[in-house]
């Protein structure tokens, strides 16, 4: 149901502007409207630069939260600390700066010590190698006339390099140690003048030098001890830093609620001020209030007027025709789950009929007809209960409660139609079909298949006419009589569509209802004739329904003439309307098609069970039911949604409304 809105205008002194906005935000029912300078002479648009400051601080707060609460935070909600109105961004910035500096310092220090432990561990491995072969760090490096290096080299490369350095045999000495079967530790000593040449040779043979930092002690035993103690010191420092991090996290948990709420409130209040107009002394603000909340808002503002000694002017008006008004709609809780589906099409505008309830019911019915299985419907319902009342968090980024409620109604519909069709987990011999006259294995009989196809088309015809009736109601309600009477989805559209339906019935010949007889007290027996359309074939074009089509098209063309749209547009619209009516009507045959496809799966299960019980249970009952519950379930939802959106909603609903977003702090 669409709730009408009133336009609230408040004029007050600039000194009271923030307090009034704050109180409106606490009330939480007024959607503020952005005012333009030309609407109120002498007033200028409010420029609130604090908005950007608060937005920046919110981003910084979010970054802090991600850093400090990676493993969750026990936020302490100290509501008593929150202040009314805006909190100075300088005060909040100071607190955030303090946390940021501590986070940056601890993070940097931990990273530095972790990197140092990694470097020292690698160094310790090298020192252990030197210790194994009794090489002291003081023996490695550059000296007055010679240099000394230690490194690793493969056995084959070492053999080759011995041949290559024969020309340097007076300037270089190599001493090797067996590090492993394939690797040697090589100690190279040579004259400093030939260092560069020798380094090039060593490099070409894959020499991997052990480089020691200058702070390493000269003796190897002292060097190993030093490296081990430095690692211990860094680990101890990291432990202290992590304790500091825990203290920092605890401090953040204490202040986070106050910080976040103060930032959000101040940001929202500053942003709301940007909707106002100001003069040197006065401020003016406007907003939309649902009609059923006007009395509450009026009383609330009356109390404020007394508080501010009448320095407050308040008016409530109906919206102007040209103004974009938000849509306020109320859905009974029983049907609220359908909003998840219908709002995908759009939000109803204030002048439109809210289609949520009727569309949701039709969507559910169509699903049930296309997916008639009591057992599978029961599974869907149970899963829906799990998602709606037990599952926490999100499912594929969606609210599980909404998904669960939809699954409950879809499962219930599938169970109902499953009972009518006599199908349980693709088995047709468990229960007898409850639909009068239907027999188990009905899909084998062409009679039942033909009637199912006719019922699907009849359902579609009724649904399309209902959509056009709702369209007429909407336009008449708002005084659009020409559109209601002569529009393609108005009375002219209904007449044209009924003409097309009857013409199709006469063309193929349709038996709608048999003759009926029933008794009424005081009236005796009443006899109703059969509704039967004889098959005329091509002769149907000369039958009386053609007159209805012509009458409807003439009305549509006359509407185009009245509205000065031109005959070309009029003819194009009429042609498109007739074509869409035919395609939309026959599109509902898919309801019967998917119902028959589901019944065909039951035939497969029955045949498999007859051939081999184990194959019937495994391939039939287990696999095909799983297939139906996963793939067919999704496909049928898509088809039901498509029929609801395209064949039904397009007749009366545009979904171009604006959401109602009341200002709240």
Other C-beta atoms within 10 Å of 353: how many?
18
Going by DSSP bridges, is the β-strand pair 282-290/5-13 parallel, antiparallel, or unpaired? Answer: antiparallel
Instruction: Give the pLDDT of residue 595.
Output: 94
Please state the rounded mean pLDDT for residues 57-64: 93
Mean pLDDT check: name the lowest of 95-104, 165-174, 331-340, 386-395: 165-174
Burial class of residue 410 in the structure, from the number of CB atoms within 10 Å of its CB (0-12 exposed, 13-18 middle, 19+ buried):
buried
Instruction: Give the pLDDT of residue 247.
Output: 93
What would the two tokens of residue 626 be? 């799983």
| Dist CA 109 CA 250 (whole Å) | 19
Please state the rounded mean pLDDT for residues 379-393: 90
What would the two tokens of residue 96 be? 């955030």
Beta bridge partners of 329: 2
Torsional sign, CA 368, 369, 374, 377: negative
The residue behind tokens 């009974």 is 332
| Dist CA 174 CA 207 (whole Å) | 12
User: Are 1-47+274-330 and 125-233 equal in CATH topology?
Assistant: yes
- CB–CB of 558/574 below 8 Å? no
- Look at residue 117 and tell me whether its pLDDT is greater than 70: yes
- The 10s digit of each residue's pLDDT in 552-570 is 999 999 988 888 877 788 8
What would the two tokens of residue 271 be? 């942003």
The CA angle 285-289-292, to the nearest 5 degrees, is 155
The residue behind tokens 């190599």 is 174
Domain ranges, ordered by start, for the chain? 1-47+274-330, 51-124+237-273, 125-233, 331-516+532-657
DSSP 656: B
- CB–CB of 78/258 below 8 Å? yes
- CB–CB of 648/378 below 8 Å? no
- The 10s digit of each residue's pLDDT in 614-634 is 887 888 788 888 888 889 999
The terminus-to-terminus CA distance of the chain in angstroms comes to: 27
| Dist CA 622 CA 510 (whole Å) | 40
Mean of pLDDT over the chain:
89
Helix (H, G, I), strand (E, B) or coil at 398: strand
For the 1-47+274-330 domain, the top CATH level (class) is alpha beta
What b/e readout covers 201-211, taking b as 16+ CB neighbours within 10 angstroms?
bbeebebebbe
Burial class of residue 289 in the structure, from the number of CB atoms within 10 Å of its CB (0-12 exposed, 13-18 middle, 19+ buried):
buried
| Dist CA 652 CA 477 (whole Å) | 13
| Dist CA 534 CA 549 (whole Å) | 19
- The 10s digit of each residue's pLDDT in 505-563 is 888 888 777 776 766 676 667 777 777 788 788 888 888 889 999 999 999 999 888 88
- CB–CB of 86/269 below 8 Å? yes
Helix (H, G, I), strand (E, B) or coil at 554: helix
Other C-beta atoms within 10 Å of 341: how many?
20
- The 10s digit of each residue's pLDDT in 348-382 is 888 888 899 999 999 999 999 999 999 999 999 99
Q: Which helix (H) or strand (E) is 379 found in, with range? A: helix 374-389
- Look at residue 463 and tell me whether its pLDDT is greater than 70: yes
CA distances from 87 to 57, 205, 219, 259 (A): 12, 69, 63, 10
DSSP 83: P
- CB–CB of 210/151 below 8 Å? yes
- CB–CB of 229/119 below 8 Å? no
CA nearest 591: which of 379, 372, 430? 372
Other C-beta atoms within 10 Å of 193: how many?
11
Beta bridge partners of 658: 326
Phi, psi of 511 (to 5 degrees): -100, 105
Please state the rounded mean pLDDT for residues 461-481: 92
Mean pLDDT check: name the lowest of 11-20, 146-155, 280-289, 525-534: 525-534
Please state the rounded mean pLDDT for residues 75-95: 86
Helical residues (DSSP H) of 194-282, grouped into ranges = 195-204, 220-273
| Dist CA 553 CA 575 (whole Å) | 9
Helix (H, G, I), strand (E, B) or coil at 275: coil
| Dist CA 663 CA 30 (whole Å) | 6
Please state the rounded mean pLDDT for residues 316-320: 91
Helical residues (DSSP H) of 274-314, grouped into ranges = 294-307
CA distances from 656 to 252, 370, 568, 641 (A): 44, 30, 27, 19
Residues ≥6 apart with Cβ < 8 Å to 123 = 212, 213, 216, 227
- CB–CB of 5/288 below 8 Å? yes
Burial class of residue 514 in the structure, from the number of CB atoms within 10 Å of its CB (0-12 exposed, 13-18 middle, 19+ buried):
exposed
Helical residues (DSSP H) of 478-588, grouped into ranges = 481-486, 491-508, 545-562, 567-587
Helix (H, G, I), strand (E, B) or coil at 544: coil
What percentage of the chain carries pLDDT values higher than 70? 97
Instruction: Give the pLDDT of residue 397.
Output: 67
CA atoms within 13 A of residue 15's CA, in its CB half-sphere: 2
Burial class of residue 40 in the structure, from the number of CB atoms within 10 Å of its CB (0-12 exposed, 13-18 middle, 19+ buried):
middle
CATH architecture of 125-233: 2-Layer Sandwich (3.30)
DSSP 36: -
Other C-beta atoms within 10 Å of 152: how many?
19
| Dist CA 595 CA 368 (whole Å) | 9
- The 10s digit of each residue's pLDDT in 1-29 is 788 899 999 998 888 888 889 989 999 99
- CB–CB of 326/5 below 8 Å? yes
Torsional sign, CA 562, 564, 568, 569: negative
- CB–CB of 545/507 below 8 Å? no
Instruction: Give the pLDDT of residue 164.
Output: 78
| Dist CA 26 CA 662 (whole Å) | 10
| Dist CA 545 CA 498 (whole Å) | 8
Please state the rounded mean pLDDT for residues 258-281: 91
Burial class of residue 34 in the structure, from the number of CB atoms within 10 Å of its CB (0-12 exposed, 13-18 middle, 19+ buried):
exposed
Instruction: Give the pLDDT of residue 396.
Output: 66
CA nearest 649: which of 484, 463, 496? 463
């Amino acid at each position: 149901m669409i709730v009408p809105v009133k336009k609230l205008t408040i004029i007050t002194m600039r000194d009271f502007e923030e307090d009034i906005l704050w109180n409106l935000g606490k009330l939480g029912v007024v959607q503020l409207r952005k005012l333009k300078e030309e609407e109120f002479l002498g007033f200028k648009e409010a420029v609130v630069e604090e908005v950007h400051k608060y937005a920046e601080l919110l981003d910084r707060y979010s970054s802090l939260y991600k850093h400090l609460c990676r493993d969750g935070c026990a936020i302490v909600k100290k509501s008593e600390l929150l202040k009314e109105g805006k909190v100075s961004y300088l005060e909040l910035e100071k607190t955030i700066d303090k946390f940021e500096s501590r986070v940056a310092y601890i993070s940097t220090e931990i990273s530095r010590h972790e990197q140092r432990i990694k470097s020292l561990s690698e160094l310790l491995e090298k020192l252990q190698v030197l210790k194994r072969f009794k090489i002291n760090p003081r023996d490695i490096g550059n000296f007055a006339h010679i240099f000394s290096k230690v490194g690793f080299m493969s056995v084959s490369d070492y053999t080759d390099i011995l041949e290559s350095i024969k020309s340097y045999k007076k300037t270089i000495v190599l001493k090797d140690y067996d590090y492993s079967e394939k690797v040697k530790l090589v100690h190279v000593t040579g004259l400093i003048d030939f260092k560069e040449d020798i380094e090039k040779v060593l490099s070409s043979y894959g020499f991997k030098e052990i480089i020691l930092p200058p702070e390493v002690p000269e003796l190897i035993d002292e060097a190993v001890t030093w490296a081990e103690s430095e690692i211990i010191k860094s680990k101890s420092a990291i432990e202290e830093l992590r304790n500091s991090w825990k203290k920092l996290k605890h401090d953040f948990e204490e202040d986070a609620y106050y910080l976040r709420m103060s930032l959000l409130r101040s940001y929202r209040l500053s942003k709301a001020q940007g909707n106002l107009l100001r003069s040197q002394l006065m401020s003016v603000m406007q907003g939309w209030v649902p009609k059923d909340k006007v009395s509450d808002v009026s009383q609330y503002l009356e109390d404020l007027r007394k508080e501010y000694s009448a320095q407050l002017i308040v008016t409530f008006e109906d919206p102007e025709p040209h103004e974009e008004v938000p849509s306020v709609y109320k859905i009974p809780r029983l049907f609220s789950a359908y909003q998840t589906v219908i709002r995908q099409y759009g939000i109803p505008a204030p002048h439109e009929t809210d289609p949520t309830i009727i569309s949701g019911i039709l969507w559910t019915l169509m699903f049930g007809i296309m997916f008639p299985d009591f057992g599978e419907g029961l599974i869907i319902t149970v899963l829906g209960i799990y998602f709606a009342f037990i599952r926490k968090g999100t499912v594929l980024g969606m609210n599980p409660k909404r998904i669960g409620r939809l699954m409950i109604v879809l499962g219930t519909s599938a169970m109902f139609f499953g009972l009518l069709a006599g199908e349980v987990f693709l088995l047709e011999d468990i229960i007898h079909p409850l639909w009068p006259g239907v027999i188990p294995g009905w899909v084998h009989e062409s009679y039942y298949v033909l009637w199912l196809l006719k019922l699907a088309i009849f359902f579609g015809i009724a649904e399309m006419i209902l959509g056009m009736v709702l369209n007429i109601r909407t336009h008449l309600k708002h005084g659009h009589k020409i559109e209601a009477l002569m529009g393609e989805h108005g009375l002219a559209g209904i007449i044209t569509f009924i003409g097309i339906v009857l013409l199709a019935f006469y063309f193929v010949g349709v038996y709608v209802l048999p003759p009926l007889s029933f008794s009424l007290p005081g009236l005796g027996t009443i006899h109703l004739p059969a509704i039967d359309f004889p098959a005329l074939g091509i002769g149907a074009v000369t039958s009386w329904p053609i007159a209805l089509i012509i009458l409807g098209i003439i009305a549509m063309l006359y509407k185009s003439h009245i509205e000065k749209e031109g005959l070309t547009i009029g003819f194009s619209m009429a042609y498109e309307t007739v074509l869409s009516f035919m395609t939309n009507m026959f599109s509902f045959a898919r309801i019967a098609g998917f119902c028959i496809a589901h019944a065909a799966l039951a035939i497969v299960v029955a045949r498999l069970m007859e051939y081999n019980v184990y194959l019937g249970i495994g391939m039939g009952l287990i696999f095909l039911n799983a297939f139906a519950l996963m793939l067919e379930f999704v496909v049928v939802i898509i088809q039901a949604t498509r029929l609801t959106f395209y064949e039904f909603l397009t007749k009366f609903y545009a979904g171009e409304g604006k959401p109602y977003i009341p200002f709240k702090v």
